[in-house]
Structure 1
Amino acid sequence: MAAVIRNSTKRAPTAIAMMNMGGPSTLDEVQGFLTNLFTDPEIIPMGPVQNVVGPYVAKRRTPKIRDQYAAIGGGSPILKWTNIQGEAMCKLLDEMRPESAPHKHYVFFRYANPLTEVSLKQMKEDGVERAIAFSQYPQWSCTTSGSSMNHLWRELDRLKMTDNFKWSLIDRWNTHPGYVKAVANRVRQGLEQFAPEDRDKVIVMFSAHSVPMNVVNRGDSYTKEIASTTEHVMKELGLKNAHILSWQSKVGYLPWMGPSTSNVIKGFGEQGKKHVLAVPIAFTSDHIETLFEIDIEYAEEAHEVGITHFKRCPSLNDEPVLFQAMADIVKDHLDTNSLHSPQYPLNCPGCTNPMCRTIKNPISPYSKLL
């Protein structure tokens, strides 16, 4: 019956906009990706010189980053995994909620193809009226989810599509039971890489993408939400293992959230620790931070400091529990006619961006908390 619904219906699809950073699918896309990244003031603020300095920094960094993508196969797999996850989620949704079928996912990447503009035009061509902006960052940050959503509202204005779609948001899902269970499943699979007699002594090292301390001090909730996810996962696991939360991928010279993953590895090596499992906690699929930074750079650092058993658990990628969790999240969102999470209307105490916490053409009346 689900296949009949998906293929025979004439109704416009319910659009699920899967919003993420994206990544270059080929080496030729690396410079464009970096240029888009370094000219976004919401993730890497540079002040009034952003549009001049950003492209310069991107060009300077391109050779190094190209080499990194070459080392992992010539491009990021994030588009592949996003499509696999989206298709599986929508297939489940068509079975679980036929009244809003067909459901169709659209990839909304912030810095790589397919960009927001492309997917909005495809939604219009498909006759979409109802759309859900589903952040693929389970933990909210103004630098990631916020940047993607603010860009969506700007693009709707620029393309004169503000009235084309009625929007609601899934802006965070960091402690959803299905998501927590999916991560826990991957941690268990990661622990199976160690000898049975060693598993209880393995340190579970959750590694999240770091953020600048000025973002944290502004009141951004990301670090709190990451920490909450890790505690929920450890409770779900019910294991004896010690765990720690570390932070990776710092850019530039300003202070960022710590301890850095690199320093944690070095510290454990100096203490004589031998068994460490890296768990990428802020990512729903493999990309450069898992395949190069953890698998190559951090693995080499671990070897150099005497950590003889350094492993990474599999990323969520094609985890069936994740597919079900995403479908459950969307179904509950539609069933309850939700517009956003309770936290979304609350600006960070130090926010200076008037675009933050906007919703254009919402499904129900909306206002920021004043």
Structure 2
Amino acid sequence: MSKKGILLVNLGTPDSPETADVKKYLDQFLMDERVIDIPKLNRILLIKGIIVPFRSPKTAKLYKEIWNENGSPLLYYSRLQAKMLQERLGDDYHVELAMRYQNPSIESALANLKAGRVDSIQVIPLFPQYASASTGSVLQLVMKLVSKWHTIPPISFVNSFHDNELMIKIFAENARKHNPESYDHVLFSFHGLPERQIDKGDYFGKNYNFRDISQREVLNDDNKFCYLAQSYDTARLIAKELNLSKENYTVCFQSRLGKEPWVQPYTTDVLKKLAAEGKKRLLVFSPAFVADCLETLYEITVEYHEEFRALGGEHVQLVESLNDSPVFIEALAGMVK
């Protein structure tokens, strides 16, 4: 019986919240040439000599805060998504889950698809907006591994799904559970990237200036592959679904690493600005993630909430991610079909 192979890939998670496992995860993640895109020797000295030894114990403490009876929330929900998609697609398909970093590995998932005698493979990186450090890294590794096979089956890739109609509806529906009208302002807080990576990702040349926020706000032929432009488009579509005016929401970026400039505005700066304006209650989306994880469950729910309260605010409420939503499984099935 012929089958079509589906490979879902999310970012990754440590095998446990213990320092040794967090160290292995950070080492593999940050040594990726697409994540820290500097010369290899400099990257080795920076990552293995400074960042990983110093950050691992601190990051392990944060993972312990979100670890629960199901283990890593990111892995738990990713496994559920793969299981639900398999059930939705039926026996004509073989669905495998992989993590770009740590386990289950892309290499092992591809081996399982090969052993399952699939006729083709479709790779769906679980990142709504394309970025070299996420989707690009997944696609590069898949192509590298498959290039070693003597016989390569038909392979296709989903580049991004930032404007997927069902995904937009789920985020909006999750927000409605919190009565958006009861909040003073809405944030769309996306994962940040170094400015140099956006510069390097200018696929069509210098027709697009990402530093000009007005140029990010309208997706067009010059910026259609840009992470920032896709992020703004996702935010615009969710805001439209919720009937939010531009004055009532802000797009911002979190999770900086190091001192070099990352894309702005930074979420922490927006929190300060809104607190100074007297805003008390904030509703926060994180639409770069399809499953709740450290960046949502701790960085937003705990760190930003505490930071905003210290500035005079009252509450920061996270809008839950797509997690085990059956509608998101329909969205994935639509990408497959």
> Is contact 2:190–2:288 with CA below 8 Å preserved after alignment?
yes
Instruction: Tell whether 2:60 aligns with 1:72.
Output: no
> Is contact 1:139–1:172 with CA below 8 Å preserved after alignment?
yes
- Structure 2 residue corresponding to 1:63, chosen from 30, 53, 57: 57
Q: Report how many aligned residue pairs link the two structures.
A: 307
> Secondary structure at the residue paired with 1:41?
coil
Query: What TM-score results when the alignment is normalised by the length of structure 1?
Result: 0.79
Query: What TM-score results when the alignment is normalised by the length of structure 2?
Result: 0.86
CA distance in 1, matches of 2:153, 2:24: 29
> Is contact 1:90–1:327 with CA below 8 Å preserved after alignment?
no
Instruction: Tell whether 2:106 aligns with 1:116.
Output: yes
Deviation at 1:69?
0.4
Deviation at 1:217?
1.9
Deviation at 1:200?
5.2
Deviation at 1:73?
2.0
1:154-233 matches, cutoff 5 A: 154-157=144-147, 160-161=148-149, 163-191=151-179, 199=181, 201-218=183-200, 219=202, 221-233=226-238
Moved over 3 A (4+): none
CA distance in 2, matches of 1:13, 1:24: 32
> Secondary structure at the residue paired with 2:52?
helix
Residue equivalent to 1:139 = 129
CA distance in 2, matches of 1:191, 1:258: 28
Residue equivalent to 1:248 = 254
CA distance in 1, matches of 2:72, 2:268: 22
> Is contact 1:190–1:314 with CA below 8 Å preserved after alignment?
no
Residue equivalent to 1:85 = 81
One-letter amino acid matched to 1:71? E
Residue equivalent to 2:288 = 282
Percent sequence identity is 27
RMSD of aligned Cα (Å):
1.8
Deviation at 1:52?
4.3
> Secondary structure at the residue paired with 1:190?
coil
CA distance in 2, matches of 1:77, 1:262: 24
CA distance in 2, matches of 1:103, 1:255: 44
CA distance in 1, matches of 2:162, 2:271: 25
> Is contact 1:129–1:164 with CA below 8 Å preserved after alignment?
no
Residue equivalent to 1:53 = 46
- Structure 1 residue corresponding to 2:305, chosen from 295, 299, 314: 299
CA offset digits 1:58-116 (Å, max 9, x no partner): 2321101101101112653211111111222232223xxxxxx4222212211120111
Deviation at 1:162?
5.6
1:270-349 matches, cutoff 5 A: 270-331=276-337
Return 41-50 or 136-145, whichever deviates more: 41-50
Which consecutive unaligned segments of at least 5 residues does structure 1 have? 1-10, 95-100, 193-198, 332-370
CA distance in 2, matches of 1:321, 1:80: 18
CA distance in 2, matches of 1:80, 1:55: 29
